[in-house]
Amino acid sequence: MSAPVLSVRGLEVDFAGSGRPVPVIRGVDLDVHPNEILCIVGESGSGKSVTALAATGLLPPTARVRGRVVLDGTDVTGAPPEVLRRLRGEAVGFIFQDPTTTLNPVLPVGRQITEGQVAHGRLRQADAPARAAELLGEVEIADPEGRARQYPHQFSGGMRQRAVIAMAMAGRPRLIIADEPTTALDVTVQAQVLDLLRRRQAETGAAIVLITHDLGVVAEVADRVAVMYGGRIVETGPVDALFARPRHPYTTALLESLPRLDTRGGRLDPIPGQPPLPGALPAGCSFHPRCRLAAGRPRCAAEEPALRPVGAAAAGQAAACHFAEENPRPKPPATVAEAAASAAAAAPLLQIEGLKVHFPLRSRVLRLTRGHVRAVDGVSLTVRAGETVSLVGESGCGKTTTGRAVMGLVPVTGGDIRFEGRSVVGLRRLAMRGVRRHMQYVFQDPFSSLNPVLPVEDVVAEPLRIHGLYDSFGGARYIARLFEMVGLSPTMFGRYPREFSGGQKQRIGIARALALKPRLVILDEPVAALDVSIQAQILNLLQDLQRELGLGYLFIAHNLSVVRQISDRVAVMYLGRVVEESDSDTLYEAPAHPYTQSLLSAVPVPEPAGRTGRGRIVLTGEIPNPAAPPGGCTFHPRCFRATDRCRAEAPAFRPHPGLPSRVACHHAGPPGTGASAERTEEAAP
Amino acid sequence: MTARLRRLSLALAALLADRGAAISLAFLVVVTLLAAGAGWLPMDAMRQDILKALEPPSAAHWFGTDELGRDILARVILGARTSLQTAAGAVAIAAVVGIPMGLVAGYFGGWRDTVLMRFVDVLLALPGILFAMAIIAVLGRSQMAALIAVGITGVPNFARITRAQVLSLRSRDFVTAVEAFGASSGYAMARTILPNAWSPIMVQAIVLASLAILLEAALAFLGIGVPPPTPSWGEMLRTGKNYLHEAPHYAVLPGIALTLTILSFDTLGRAMSRVLEDRHGQAMPAGDRQEEGR
Amino acid sequence: MIGYILRRLVQLVPVLLLASVAIWGMVYAVPGGPVGVIVGENASVEQIAAVRAQLGLDRPIHVQYLDWLLRAVQGDFGASIHSRRPVMELIEQRLPASFQLGLAATVVSLAVGVPVAIISAMYPGSWIDRSLSAWNALALGVPTFWLGILLILFFAVQLRWLPAISTHVPFWENPFGALRNLALPAVTLGLYVSGIFARFLRASIVSELGSDYVRTARAKGLPERQILLGHVMRNALLPFITIVGLSLANFIGGAVVTEAVFTYPGIARLLINAISQRDYPLIQGCIVVILVVYVFVNLVVDILYAYADPRIEYR
């Protein structure tokens, strides 16, 4: 094997804040070879991003770095700034998470792509525009010459990330560091960008270090994987071996706690507890308080295990666990035959019919209405007691607005919303208040949905106080019961929201939503901001509560795996409309709408075996501006089955023959059938 | 309640850890005590002694005497009272008018926002001192007129900072949450948004206090502030300027008191905003934000 | 672009109208009203009636306002009560002096403020940053009139280098004389405004230095100087343009006091005198002229901003 492009030995990083230094990286060794994709995967606080920044000397001055990092033959640690600077421009390229902030808003994109090369004297200023256009062309941006002269705000999110890739590739670097490069992108755009990244890597032979929290992305692109926990690599190995036979209990637990697209599970198997904070690591093996194998063994609590080879030498796997040999294979994802029971029989709790929410676009000066954003443009849906109905779609599809319209938080333009048979559209405030008692909302971001100046006890009690029911519901005793119901201790009463972790905050948010004993709960991306291991805990809690209390859930999410895990019925939204609706199994196993099909095929599956054979529909383009949706079927510009009819005529939302689904498509049908004679890897533009 | 007290004492401790803030606070406490207890001090600010006019600092008159032979130190201390009273009254007026304006404009948006903010624009369109001068031109010269004039020029500060806070808090989920529970807009504004906006508003109040003292002194310096014989720093500088050759101390010493007071408020305000930034881990929203349809 | 400017002009109309109502109505709020302003408190009934008729006060109130507004738009604010000369004539005499002082002070404030901001932002938390911040606090905290007094005391009374009382000498007629007369007032006013500039610009640069695109630029291996000048300053100067426009209010406010300290013959001192003489037509005229200058400068600033920021489209 050729010499590694990047070689890290004994890397340690402390952040010296105002108090004592916090160890963030505690001894990391890794090698990255040319033409290889190494994925570093871990939860928040595991130190994965810091590792990559430290390897290139990009950490802020408050960080203390020890160890040895050799990058492209140059020792980085202790290298003078000038050497590091040259190295960064020539040997390494970077792709960061959020393409909206990575690019400088006031400089043309083309200039930003090439300026590094110009600064290093590797490109003449006169040749820069041509080179920028060439690079943009290589990342498949149409009209590269014109685009190079534009500013970042004129690019869509996916195009910006392409431009960032072009920038990273500008110096033909031997190593590319990509820090969560697709986390900020929608799933169909993520598929495009990952695909592009992999192809550009293969063409240039560069090595890539890709940092992610998403095991699906790892399985899609990695050659080798390093799993980080508590500032160390706890397991490393080739991607196939690591997914098939993980050697560290954390890796196993992570895989088991993951909701999956390909199987319908009953309950997830979450990792108990929370990922440790770098400032407060447990002694010994930092995973032992959450570990199945540790189970009170004194050695785990006393001695930090070294990363050592485990299993067959040829497999190349290593794990940092005293008892790695005992680590079991991950349980095959359980497929529970669902007793699709009472739900269908129950009376409908919530009925949405033809809901429309249009926001006026006003001119800035005279506030004249210039047009409308059709945020929601015809959504029909029914939720029954004890049932979970999910609204799924990419950003801007109108799923959150639908939820807010149900709560009466945004004005309804057209259609009807009925709660227990009574229309709630246009209710006056007091009447709406009566209805709101029975409908509650759980927010996406647990960090912003709790009032920071109230102790958590008052946060949970607030809805009761607003409705004047605090005493009649049992006062502090009732609040304590709610706390226990969501798995929190009432001893935490006097604390403030910021003293809690994300998962705990979301539990508080759920307790608050349950305080008024609602019958319907609208869950707006309740687990999107949480780490994988915490996500499973919350999903289980939600399922338990639903069973106990007979709640109806309207579950709003973009993550198709999570949706599959929890839903009885699923509705897929695109540009303000439901394009397909069915029971969960049918929708996932026999999707009829081309958008559903491409959405499902774009989701990275945590199963590296057979990733090459997976026929994937990669959609071109991105979601159009909802203020000016395309005519006819709004999906037609991106659809691989689009015909002239689609361009002219909007399809009706109607039952699909042979399936318990309703679909809005002229050419609906299972993948590879019907009008889709040309089932393609690449969709037609 | 104890939890709140704990938070408050923690914030105070964090503030006093800043050396500049601690010194400033100590200075302001001393000035306030002196101003409040001026009546018990051995010097008399009003007694004239023409024979001892314009004497340089001495053991009998630490700050020297003015053109009528009055003790300058005693007048500086009484001037502090005038200054602090005017500033406190002005900040109170500005807060009482400005904060509700900002709340309503930010929370409801729409025409209320347009009307209120146009009003603020008009207030801002004139430099504060000109505005104050115009008000005094109408009301005539008195301490109350100076107080009102300075207070009104501070209204835009409170209105804008409150509105900016409300706009940034308005879209936060915890505000949406209380609305989703069925809380009235009054509840959302007074019980949910305002408690979260207090800190930057407090900082604004401190900063405004320094501006008010400056403006009050400037008006007096121009001869249209608090009228004599009430001692005021600005008035003393105005008169002292006529005796630069004979008695340079006359125009210098009251200026030191004025400058230190202004600097102390300013330092305190900036230290407070730094402490708050550290505690919230983010810069405080500074500017207004355009809200589009969604 | 033209459309953008027109739209900005349209936006100004309500502000200017509201302000004009306030300025016009000011006279009616004075005890005795507009008549008392002219005839004084001990006037006879006949005198009052004569002035009422002469001023057209017997007409409906909106007609009076529209009449005043119509003449004000043409620059006619009537005659000064004190000197009996047309208000606009008095103002025109003073404007060049004020503009010259404003320009000189702007030069001082930018020459001091911008370098101070850049240097302290480059080394945040260092001793140089702290001492420059202290300097800024002084520039902002020391009252302009007291600073003026100190400067006079030192440069005029002690050293006798510069005049204690500044007169207006047109720069193109006598540059040396102009500088001699402008030096103290321009420094007094300029230092104060430089504090505002430096404080704001420093905060702006520091916050831009923390943004992601700076990390990107470092990752590209750009030299720090190029990052600062090519990336950070472009972003930091955008809001700074607005601050320069808004600080015109501070400028005018500072000029009022500065002109008083140095008995400089600018428009602000005209206004102060008018206020102490209760010369309302002159007060109205001065305020309107200052307001128009202020609004116009801010309009230019907004247009510059829109021109400099690619994100603003002139739709």
How does C265-274 read in b/e, with b if 16+ C-beta sit within 10 Å? bbbbbbbbeb
| Ordered domains of chain A (ranges, CATH) | 6-91+173-326 (3.40.50.300), 346-585 (3.40.50.300), 589-683 (no CATH)
Q: Which among A119, A151, A366 has the least Cβ separation from residue C222? A: A119
Euclidean distance between CA atoms C105 and C50, whole angstroms:
47
Checking if the pLDDT of C170 tops 60, the result is yes
Number of folded domains in chain C?
A: 2
User: What are B's interface residues with C at a Cβ cutoff of 8 A?
Assistant: 118-119, 121-122, 124-130, 133-134, 136-138, 140, 210, 214, 217-218, 221-224, 234, 237, 240-241, 244-245, 248, 251-252, 255, 258-259, 262-263, 266-267, 270, 283, 287
In A, which residues are within 8 Å of B114 by CB distance? 367
User: Best of C81, C145, C284 to disrupt the B interface by mutation (most B CBs within 10 Å)?
Assistant: C145
pLDDT at A672: 63
User: Is the distance from CB of A208 to CB of A201 less than 8 angstroms?
Assistant: yes
For range C99-105, the mean pLDDT: 89
Distance from the B259 Cα atom to the nearest Cα atom in chain C, whole angstroms: 5
C221, C226, C311 member nearest A153 (Cβ) = C311
Cα–Cα distance for residue pair B176/B182, rounded to 1 Å: 10
Whether the Cβ atoms of residue A279 and residue A22 lie closer than 8 Å to each other: yes
Q: What is the pLDDT of residue B92?
A: 95
Q: Do both C140 and C244 map to the same domain?
A: yes
Residue A368 has a pLDDT of 62
Extents of the domains making up chain B: 2-46+59-292
Nearest residue in A to B197, CA atom: A453
Q: Which of A222-236, A506-520, B124-138 has the lowest mean pLDDT?
A: B124-138
Residues of C in contact with B129 (CB under 8 A): 252-253, 256-257
Rounded CA-CA distance C100/B103 in Å is 42
| Contact check, Cβ <8 Å, C215/A58 | yes
Nearest to B259 among C143, C248, C294 (CB): C143
Overall average pLDDT of the A501-518 stretch = 90
Asked whether the predicted pLDDT for residue B289 surpasses 50, the reply is no
| Residues on C contacting A at a C-beta cutoff of 8 Å | 7, 10-11, 211-213, 215-223, 226, 230-231, 234-235, 238, 308-311
CB < 8 Å to B3, chain A:
455, 494, 496
Closest CA to B134 of C266, C62, C282, C88: C282
- Please indicate, yes or no, whether residues C100 and C181 belong to a single structural domain of this protein: yes
- State the nearest Cα–Cα gap between B183 and chain A, in angstroms: 6
Of C21, C49, C74, the last residue of a domain is C74
Strand locations in A96-137, DSSP E? none
Whether C152 shows a pLDDT value over 80: the answer reads yes
Q: pTM of the prediction?
A: 0.81
Pair (C50, C192) in one structural domain:
no
User: Among the residues of B37-142, which ranges form H helices?
Assistant: 72-108, 110-125, 128-139
Of A360, A409, A463, the CB nearest to B293: A360
Residues C57 and C141 in one domain: no
Q: How far is CA A680 from the centre of its chain?
A: 26
Task: Kindly determine whether residue B196 and residue A451, on different chains, have CB atoms separated by under 8 Å.
Answer: yes
Domain membership of residue C114 (yes or no) is yes
Query: Does position A265 have pLDDT exceeding 80, yes or no?
Result: no
Report yes or no on C314 lying in a domain.
no
pLDDT at C96 over 60: yes
Full DSSP string of C153-181: IIIIIIS--S-SS-----TTT-HHHHHHH
Task: Give the pLDDT of residue A346.
Answer: 74
**Domain with residues B2-46+59-292, CATH architecture:** Orthogonal Bundle (1.10)
CB B71 within 8 A of CB B43: yes
Give residue A342's pLDDT. Answer: 47
Residue C81 lies in a domain: no
Instruction: Tell me what the pLDDT averaged over chain B comes to.
Output: 81
Answer yes or no: is pLDDT of A336 > 60.
no
Q: Check A103 against C216: CB less than 8 A apart.
A: yes
In the listed set C74, C103, C125, which residue is the last one of a domain according to the structure?
C74
**What's the pLDDT at B288?**
26
C140 in the same domain as C46: no
Question: Which residues of chain A lie closer than 8 angstroms to C220, CB-CB?
Answer: 88-89, 94, 115-116, 119, 167
Cross-strand bridge partners of residue A212: A41
> C233 and C268: one domain?
yes
**Average of pLDDT values for B188-204?**
87
| Same domain membership, residue C159 and residue C64 | no
Q: Which of A104, A151, A164 has the highest number of chain C CBs within 10 A, making it the mutation to test binding with C?
A: A104
pLDDT at B284 over 60: no
Strand spans (E) along B99-244: none
Most confident of A618-627, B260-269, C69-78: B260-269
Minimal Cα–Cα distance from A627 to chain C, Å?
16
Residue A18's pLDDT is 61
Q: What is the share, in percent, of chain C residues with pLDDT greater than 70?
A: 94
Strand A175-179 with A63-71, pairing: unpaired
Residue A345 has which token pair? 């029989």
Cα–Cα dist B13/A271, whole Å = 40
List pLDDT tens digits, range C222-243. Answer: 888 888 888 898 888 888 887 8
Mean pLDDT of A666-671: 83
Say yes or no to pLDDT of A684 above 60: no
**Residue of C211, C212, C310 lying closest to A151 (CB–CB):** C310
Residue B291's pLDDT is 24
Facing residue for A449 by CB, picked from B177, B184, B187: B177
Q: What is the DSSP letter of A630?
A: P
Other C-beta atoms lying within 10 Å of the C-beta of residue B88 = 15
Q: What pLDDT does residue A319 have? A: 92
In chain A, % of residues over pLDDT 90: 26
Q: Which of B83, B119, B241 best tests the C interface by mutation, with the highest count of C CBs <10 A?
A: B241
Interfacial A residues in 294-333 facing C (CB < 8 Å): none
pLDDT tens-digit readout, A439-485: 999 988 877 889 888 889 999 999 999 888 899 998 899 999 999 98
pLDDT value at A352 more than 90: yes
Domain range spanning residue C93?
A: 88-308
Q: Which of A86, A103, A153 sits opposite C213 (nearest CB)?
A: A103
pLDDT at C139 (0 to 100): 86
Single-letter amino acid code for the residue at A192:
Q
Listing DSSP states for A465-524 in one string gives HHTT-TTTTTHHHHHHHHHHHTT--GGGTT--GGGS-HHHHHHHHHHHHHTT--SEEEEE
Task: Tell me, yes or no, whether C235 lies in a domain.
Answer: yes
Tell me the per-residue pLDDT of B164-181, one tens digit each, with 9 for 90 and over: 889 888 888 899 888 888
* Residue A88 in contact with partner chain C when CB distance is under 8 A: yes
- Tens of pLDDT, residues B84-95: 989 999 999 999
Phi, psi of A508 (to 5 degrees): -60, -45
* Radius of gyration in angstroms for the set of CA atoms belonging to chain C, rounded to a whole number: 24
One domain for residues C51 and C169: no
pLDDT of residue A579: 92
- Least confident among A405-419, A603-617, C15-29: A603-617
Question: Two tokens at B119?
Answer: 């009003």
Mean pLDDT of A124-145: 90
Q: Measure in Å the smallest separation between the Cα of A214 and chain B Cα atoms.
A: 26
Can you give the pLDDT at residue A264?
Answer: 65
Residues A88-100 have a mean pLDDT of 85
Residues of chain B found within 8 Å of residue C22, distances taken between Cβ atoms: 122
SS3 B44: coil
Residues C33 and C98 in one domain: no
Query: Is C157–B134 a contact, with Cβ atoms under 8 angstroms apart?
Result: no
Q: Which of A365-369, A522-526, C156-160 has the lowest mean pLDDT?
A: A365-369
Characterise A610 by phi-psi region: left (phi > 0), alpha (psi -120 to 50), beta (else): left
Question: Do the Cβ atoms of A540 and A546 come closer than 8 Å?
Answer: no
Judgement on whether residues C128 and C202 belong to the same structural domain of the protein: yes
Q: Do B255 and C30 touch (CB under 8 A)?
A: no
Express as a percent the part of chain C with pLDDT over 90: 4
A432 touches chain B (CB under 8 A): yes
pLDDT at residue A340 greater than cutoff 60: no
- On chain A, the residues whose CB falls within 8 A of the CB of C210 are none
Spatial distance between the Cα atoms of C119 and C114, rounded to a whole number of angstroms: 9
% of chain A at pLDDT higher than 70: 93
Specify whether C56 is located in the same domain as C130: no
> Does B248 have pLDDT greater than 90?
no
Q: Which of B125, B223, B267 sits opposite C294 (nearest CB)?
A: B125
DSSP lists the bridge partners of residue A32 as A6
Residue keyed to tokens 């972003």: C235
Structure tokens at A150: 């534009």
Q: By mean pLDDT, which of A334-343, A348-357, B200-209 is the weakest?
A: A334-343
Does A119 reach chain C within 8 Å, measured CB to CB? yes
pLDDT of residue B293: 24
What confidence tens digit (pLDDT) does each residue in A208-229 have? 999 998 898 999 899 999 999 9
Which structure tokens are listed for B188?
Answer: 């959302």
Phi, psi of A614 (to 5 degrees): -70, 120
Same domain, C100 and C53: no
What's the gap in Å between the CA of C246 and the closest CA on chain A?
A: 21
- The rounded distance, in Å, linking the Cα atoms of A193 and B147 is 63
Q: What is the CATH number of the domain that holds C286?
A: 1.10.3720.10
What pLDDT sits at residue A677?
Answer: 37
**With contacts defined as CB-CB under 8 Å, which chain A residues touch B183?**
466
Residue C42 lies in a domain: yes
